[in-house]
Structure 1
Amino acid sequence: MINDYKIAVIGCGNLGLSIVHGLLADKNVKAENITATRRNVQALKHLADAGVTTTSDNLEAIKSAELIVLGLKPYKIMDVLKDLAPHFDSSKHILVSLATGVHIADIQRIVGEDIPVYRAMPNTAADVETSMTCVCGNKDSARDLQVVLDCFSAVGDTIVIDESLMDSATVLGACGIAYVLRFIRAMIQGGIEIGFDAKTASHIATQTVKGAAELLIQRNQHPEYEIDKVTTPRGCTIAGLNEMEHNGFSSALIKDEGHPTVDIKALLQQYPVLGICYGAQLACHQYGGVVAASDKREYGRAGLHVTRDDLFHSVEEASQVWMSHGDTIKNIPDEMTIIAHTDNIPVAAYKMNSEPHPFYGIQFHPE
């Protein structure tokens, strides 16, 4: 379907350019069907050479477009939309915003309720057709949604999520690219320190990360399953993993300023909720409990000591569970009751009898 659509990418910064590059690499998308805008149009010369229409005039770009991708910064998007709003056509245009933190309702207050509006959060891997793009919308049109999904499927994988999770998608998928790259850089530096030249260390590190990702994608396994296969007693792998956790590797990612979050109270109005590891810590924090660095970081197997509860009705005392955390729950709020602990941490699981649905939090990984 997308090969027949006229696409305008308004604001070709790094992310917008990645999307255009990815679209151009798809043989089903014609370059002449793409229009790209940027104030400095000379920066788009390579796109013009490839057959893309380039311009600094956003209004001109949307005239012939059907799918309009807004690759604008959050602080710019509203002003641009106000200029363009009188020219949007509900019978023709579909808008997709890439702006972090700008909600669909905010956009529709400017462009009108009849214009189909979606949000998408891809990442810069769109440049090489391997983006992970999360999409949300508030319209019931299966056709419009399919057009949006087809566009971003041309540059990688797509999933549809609720808008309440878009900020989390930004951290995990978009910011996540930088986190993984920083990890790879550290691997390369470590490789150089133990004797490899930079080129060889880079080759080993990047292929290793690619291989690790493919193991999870192709086998649909939890990371700990694959980790367990290479951690032998007294081996260098478990020693390295423990050193990473002792230095706060996992907790550093979780404590990032833009850490993933969700309104747990709102979820509990609709569903019973199970929080696993970070989810258990997040709920405790939101309800006024204390989460802090653990005195004894846990990585690997632990014995679970349970207080009888319906969640653990078939779990035997001292059952083996898998732990992987550097932070721990120090104190729970009054609404919560501890239902399990280990030898190292006092809160391995808790229950909250919230209304209308209960919340369970577990520090270990049952996956």
Structure 2
Amino acid sequence: MFKVGVIGCGNMGEAIVRGLTKSKNVKSTDIIVSDVDPDKVELMVEKYNVAGTSSNRRVVENSGIIFLAVKPKDFIKTVKPIKEAFTEDKIIISVMAGIKIQRINEEIKGIIVRVMPNTPALIGEGALGVSFEKIDPLKKEQILDLLKSLGTVVEVEEELMDTVTGLSGSGPAYVFMFIEGLIQGGIKGGLSYKQASELAVQTVLGAAKLIKETGEHPSVLRDKVSSPAGTTIYAVHKLEEKGLKDAVISAVEEATKRSRELSE
């Protein structure tokens, strides 16, 4: 019997497996994975020393906790052939964007948990929104402890999961684009790619840690670094002029809207 099963070996499935094994909370030998692509399964087995199979049924029947890490459009064709394998004692953790707990319960039995992680879970630095149906408090703590292996976990009402998807689920892509812009700006000013990249990445990492550790509002920290008539206030004015903040808000709104569409 495996402790954790993962159906789907794409980017998020791998992020879950790598995050769990790296945290030491789950032994690699306690994890079994499956995917329609045998090459992906083989790669996961080689990289993380987990068990692999082409049978989703085997994963469900032999795991206490099952991560459903398939694309939302593949949900029905994944679970329908094996729906009788999902019993009421199974804990099903869905990472499918837009698929509501009620919809999952219409197809399979089990204790359904809905999670929206993001790819930094690969290194245990993910941001995860989680929603529960009615659940035993001890089982809930067990699941939260498991998910904390992947990063920071924030419990939200399910109706807000689409917003979580738009903010943190898709959010790394927005940050990558911002970092890319910083690097390109540095290169334009004469730095090498290596120099600009090291400075840009650490700038974003350090700024994020400063917000987390001080608890101060981002605008307060921004004002602290904006000296009168200095370089930063000129740059901030240009970012406002170009609509950086509005663009980010719009990006979150668009991703949220798309998540809602996927659930319909």
Task: Name the amino acid aligned to 1:160.
Answer: E
**CA-atom RMSD, angstroms?**
1.7
Deviation beyond 4 Å, 4+ runs, structure 1: none
State the partner residue of 2:32.
35
Query: Are 2:103 and 1:106 aligned?
Result: yes
Shift of 1:5: 6.6
State the partner residue of 1:154.
149
Asked whether the 8 Å contact 1:78–1:107 carries over to 2, the reply is: no
Query: Are 2:63 and 1:65 aligned?
Result: yes
State the partner residue of 2:202.
207
Answer with 134-143 or 93-102: which moved more.
134-143
Asked whether the 8 Å contact 1:168–1:259 carries over to 2, the reply is: no
Task: Name the amino acid aligned to 2:21.
Answer: L
Gapped regions of structure 1 (runs ≥ 5): 263-367
Distance in 2 (alpha carbons) for counterparts of 1:214 and 1:256: 23
Give the alignment partner of residue 22 of structure 1, picking from 19, 24, 47.
19
Gapped regions of structure 2 (runs ≥ 5): 258-264
Asked whether the 8 Å contact 1:126–1:156 carries over to 2, the reply is: yes
State the partner residue of 2:262.
none
Shift of 1:161: 0.6
User: Relative to total residues, which structure has the larger helix share, 1 or 2?
Assistant: 2
Larger radius of gyration: 1
State the partner residue of 1:186.
181
TM-score by length of 2: 0.92
Asked whether the 8 Å contact 2:69–2:94 carries over to 1, the reply is: yes
User: Relative to total residues, which structure has the larger strand share, 1 or 2?
Assistant: 1
Distance in 2 (alpha carbons) for counterparts of 1:162 and 1:221: 25
State the partner residue of 2:50.
52
Identify which of structures 1 and 2 has the higher relative contact order when contacts are C-alpha pairs closer than 8 Å and 6+ apart: 2
Asked whether the 8 Å contact 1:9–1:16 carries over to 2, the reply is: yes
Query: Are 2:91 and 1:94 aligned?
Result: yes
Task: Name the amino acid aligned to 1:99.
Answer: M
Shift of 1:40: 1.6
Asked whether the 8 Å contact 1:96–1:120 carries over to 2, the reply is: yes
Shift of 1:44: 3.2
Task: Give the share of equivalent positions with the same residue, in percent.
Answer: 34
Task: Name the amino acid aligned to 1:202.
Answer: S
Task: Name the amino acid aligned to 1:210.
Answer: L
State the partner residue of 1:303.
none
Query: Are 2:127 and 1:129 aligned?
Result: no
Task: Name the amino acid aligned to 1:123.
Answer: N
How many pairs align?
A: 256
